[in-house]
Structure 1
Amino acid sequence: MSAFSKALNVSASGLRAQAQRLQIVSENVANTDTPGYKRKTVSFASELQRTGLPEVKVDKVTLDRRDGERIYDPGHPMADSDGHYTGSNVDLVIEIADAREAQRSYQANLKMFDQARQMSSGLMDLLRK
């Protein structure tokens, strides 16, 4: 396996991992107003494949243990005897920051992928001459 192929594989694994991270962030944003929803967080791990290449993968998705906001709404179907219910623990500011970080990481991996592809293409052009 050439160095170019290795670079493309490592970059592609980073793209897949960041895409999964963006999916989790979008689920959190979509459930901001869902009572009792727990924010999901992503952690990454580096794995060596059979080929000996490092690859980035989503290690696990965990639930944020913080309590959700206590909301007073006696008319809500989930309200307790005091008129409160537990909302989600999603903070949109944190989710926007996570989305930006994932987007930038995705762009960096995409740039690396493109650079390796261009270098490989340039090498092929040189070999043809």
Structure 2
Amino acid sequence: MAISFEKAFGILPDSLQVRAKNAEVIAANIANADTPGYKAKGMDFQTALAQAANRQQAGMTKTHEKHFDVRTEINNDVDFRVPNQPDTGDGNNVDVQMERNLYLENSMHYQASIQFLNSKIKGLKQAISGGK
């Protein structure tokens, strides 16, 4: 009997990809906190994850080697964030403290997902080896 990794892991790998993309967006905001005219960007995690789930359920397959595999691409759910603070006078609206908090929260969720994935893999290993 074959083990379906897609069924075993579910949406978890897509969740990790979305979390990684979110970390990149937040890091870019922090890096550009002093860039004049820079506008903070953000992702809606729930929307991005829902889109990943829809792609997974669709079961799309490539019919030609030059086609893009849309299942592995995260839709660009990056948009400008509604600012929490007024413009700093130079057109920049990045709130560094908020961005750091968002980064920390995203990191904690990412680590929790990694731990959950590790436990899934451990369970599969036990199933394959007969519980040894």
Q: TM-score scaled to structure 2, two decimals?
A: 0.71
How many angstroms does 1:6 deviate by?
2.2
Structure 1 counterpart of 2:80? 63
Q: Which runs of 5+ in 1 are unaligned?
A: 52-56, 71-85
User: CA offset at residue 7 of structure 1?
Assistant: 3.9
For 1:13, give the aligned amino acid. Answer: D
SS state at 1:90 partner: coil
When residues 39 and 11 of structure 1 are mapped into structure 2, their CA distance, relative to the original with a 3 A threshold, is same
In structure 2, list runs of 5 or more residues that go unmatched: 60-73
Q: How many residues align?
A: 109
Percent identity, please: 26
Match of 1:27? 28
Instruction: Give the Cα separation in 2 of the matches to 1:6 and 1:13.
Output: 13
Residue 11 of structure 2 is matched in structure 1 by: 10
Show the counterpart of 1:92. Answer: 96
Give the superposed CA RMSD: 2.5
Normalising by structure 1, what TM-score? 0.72
Runs of 4+, deviation exceeding 3 Å: 1-5
8 A contact 1:7–1:113 mirrored in 2:
no
Q: 1:35 to 1:42 in 2, by over 3 A?
A: same
In the alignment, does 2:102 pair up with 1:101? no
Instruction: Indicate if the aligned counterparts of 2:40 and 2:81 stay in contact, CA closer than 8 A.
Output: yes
For the 8 Å contact 2:39–2:91, the answer to whether it is kept is no
* Larger strand fraction of residues: 1
Larger radius of gyration: 1
